[in-house]
């Protein structure tokens, strides 16, 4: 049967078209631009790098001279990998302060291991962008119009951004541990999804602000799982769902493939029950990028899939999607006025911003907002950062994203090792889907989801560095 299908004219025609698409993509300038250079060059030390290196050497000698090496000989903080895995598992499940405690323990563990000479701060192009982003975010926080209220949130944004550098330091050159980290995100995503599905099965009602009851009479519940908001839940699921698809492909046994498939199905179902249009579109884009990054011939499958979606989607979902951009939709109308207010704020604060966090935004928004339209944030990551911290902070964030995305694209296209290609393509899909929803929501609003985002940024760069260190490139 298989031989008959493969010898058929239709199959051979589709294969030929797919192979042509793949060749054109590989030869295109866009492909070379996305993938980047063949070698991820480490930045020249420069004044800052030289100073940082000397400070590091002094730290190691001081650590030894104070007897801290002997003191920490049997310390639990030598188990850096365990703390890092626990952080990933706990991020979407535990309260923010509990997650913060684990990230602090992980950072403390990294410092101890560096002091003992067992680790060295990994140098990568990501570092400079994270340092610039963190410095500018800290400066924005300190100059906030609501300094006291902005300090806690600003400190978390800075620390979680720095955490991506710690992830690279721990993970670079350790392909097996990187896979365990990615599987941990899949596991926590599955747990969150199951809790969301249980909420939907048990029934209930959503907050009035989450559903336009006049326009969507068939939607009574938008699940929130452990994250308190349906849009925040969908943002986290966008980060974890493509990784679950990669786990299905990379599973080493039939049972492993079944478990990963169940996790993938649970995440997709839970994402549907969030009724987040940005989440749905983000999932479509994220999975499309994942598949095309693996093989450009999946473009044909994608075109067929889009046609099938129009035919097979339930009427309630099509109705919700069709109202994107419709000003009679309360959510769309609400965002329209918020965006107009944000543009007005950016005209005055585009250079330095007015300060980090919801309190600073609400204080500034009171002077720019439209009557009867209250908003804690701009419902758009780009607009929010421009308002909060200014244009240079946004450029630093985009530099971090470009470094991570190019690292993932390079590994997906150039690695000889299939598992590395699949994981990197999934990270690329996670990031693009997440950023698409960031155009309709402030995706850094929830600190725990922001932490998972920065962890994935670190893992994308770690995987590429690992591939290069092992000489595993085409």
Token couple for 347: 């005209």
Tokens for 194, please give them: 């199951």
65 pLDDT above the threshold of 60: yes
Average the pLDDT over 359-384 and give the result: 87
pLDDT band at residue 316 using 50, 70 and 90 as cut-offs: low
- Lowest average pLDDT, out of 99-108, 301-310, 353-362, goes to 301-310
Q: Which two tokens stand for residue 287?
A: 């999975």
Q: What is the pTM of this model?
A: 0.88
Give the residue, 443 or 56, on which the prediction is more confident.
Answer: 443
**Token output for 152:** 């806690």
- Asked if 401 contacts 431 with a C-beta cutoff of 8 angstroms, the reply is yes
Nearest 5°: CA angle at 344, between 341 and 345?
90
Average pLDDT value for residue range 49-64:
78
3-state secondary structure string, 391-427? HHHHHHHHHHHHHHHHHHHHHHHHECCHHHHHHHHHH
Tell me which of 469 and 81 has the higher pLDDT. 81
Task: Find the mean pLDDT for residues 10-34.
Answer: 57
Non-local (6+) Cβ contacts of 132 within 8 A are 392, 396, 399
Q: What is the mean pLDDT of residues 164-178?
A: 93
Domain definitions of the chain by residue range: 166-330+375-469
Give yes or no for residue 140 having a pLDDT over 80.
yes
Share of the chain above pLDDT 90, in %: 58
Phi, psi torsion values for 241, nearest 5 degrees: -65, -45
């Amino acid at each position: 049967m298989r031989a008959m299908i493969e010898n058929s004219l239709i199959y051979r025609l589709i294969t030929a078209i797919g192979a042509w698409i793949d060749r054109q993509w590989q030869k295109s300038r866009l492909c070379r631009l996305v993938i980047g250079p063949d070698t991820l060059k480490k930045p020249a030390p420069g004044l800052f790098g030289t100073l940082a290196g000397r400070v590091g050497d002094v730290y190691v000698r001081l650590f030894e001279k104070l007897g801290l090496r002997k003191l920490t000989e049997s310390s639990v903080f030598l188990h850096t990998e365990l703390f890092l895995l626990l952080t990933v598992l706990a991020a979407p499940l535990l309260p923010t302060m509990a997650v913060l405690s684990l990230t602090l323990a992980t950072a403390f563990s990294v410092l101890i291991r560096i002091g003992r000479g067992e680790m060295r701060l990994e140098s990568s192009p990501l570092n400079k962008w994270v340092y610039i982003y963190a410095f500018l975010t800290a400066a924005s926080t300190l100059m906030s119009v609501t300094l006291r209220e902005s300090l806690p949130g600003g400190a978390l944004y800075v620390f979680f951004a720095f955490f991506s550098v710690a992830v690279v330091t721990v993970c670079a050159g350790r392909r097996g541990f990187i896979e365990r980290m990615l599987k941990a995100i899949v596991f926590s995503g599955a747990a969150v999804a199951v809790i969301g599905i249980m909420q939907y099965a048990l029934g209930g009602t959503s907050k009035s602000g989450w559903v336009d009851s006049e326009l969507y009479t068939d939607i009574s519940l938008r699940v929130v799982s452990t994250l308190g908001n349906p849009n925040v839940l969908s943002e986290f699921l966008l980060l974890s769902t493509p990784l679950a698809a990669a786990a299905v492909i990379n599973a080493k046994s039939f049972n492993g493939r079944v478990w990963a498939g169940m996790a993938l199905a649970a995440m997709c179902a839970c994402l549907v029950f969030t009724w987040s249009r940005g989440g749905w579109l983000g999932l479509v884009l994220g999975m499309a990028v994942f598949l095309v990054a693996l093989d450009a011939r999946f473009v044909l499958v994608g075109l067929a899939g889009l046609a099938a979606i129009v035919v097979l989607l339930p009427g309630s979902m099509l109705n919700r999607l069709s109202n994107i951009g419709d000003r009679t939709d309360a959510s769309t109308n609400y965002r329209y006025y918020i965006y107009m207010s944000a543009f007005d704020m950016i005209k005055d604060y585009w250079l330095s911003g007015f300060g980090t966090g919801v309190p600073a935004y609400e204080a500034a928004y009171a002077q720019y907002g439209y009557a009867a339209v209250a908003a804690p944030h701009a419902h758009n990551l780009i607009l929010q950062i421009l308002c909060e911290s200014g244009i240079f902070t946004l450029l630093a964030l985009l530099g971090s994203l470009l470094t991570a995305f190019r690292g993932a694209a390079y590994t997906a296209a150039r690695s000889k090792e299939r598992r590395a290609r699949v994981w990197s393509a999934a990270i690329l899909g996670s990031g693009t889907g997440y950023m698409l929803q960031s155009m309709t929501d402030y995706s850094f609003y929830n600190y725990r989801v922001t932490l998972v985002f920065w962890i994935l940024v670190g893992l994308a760069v770690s995987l590429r560095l690992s591939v290069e260190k092992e000489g595993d490139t085409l």
